[in-house]
Amino acid sequence: MKVWSYKEFSEYIREVFNTSISDGLNTLQAGGRCLYELSNAIEEGEVEKIIFYVCLADLQIDKGVVSQRILDEVKNIIKDFNIDKFANELEKEDIEDLSRLVQKVKVKLCI
Burial 68-95 (b: 16+ CB within 10 A, else e): eebbebbbebbeebeeeebeeebeeebb
Residue 1's pLDDT is what? 45
**pTM, whole model, 2 decimals?**
0.93
Q: What is the mean pLDDT of the segment spanning 85-109?
A: 94
Query: What is the tens place of the pLDDT at every residue in 54-79?
Result: 999 999 999 999 999 999 999 999 99
Query: What is the tens place of the pLDDT at every residue in 17-35?
Result: 999 999 999 999 999 999 9
Residue 44's pLDDT is what? 86
CA dihedral 50, 51, 52, 54 (to 10 degrees): 80
Residue 45's pLDDT is what? 87
> Which burial class, exposed, middle or buried, applies to 21 when counting CB atoms under 10 A from its CB (0-12, 13-18, 19+)?
middle
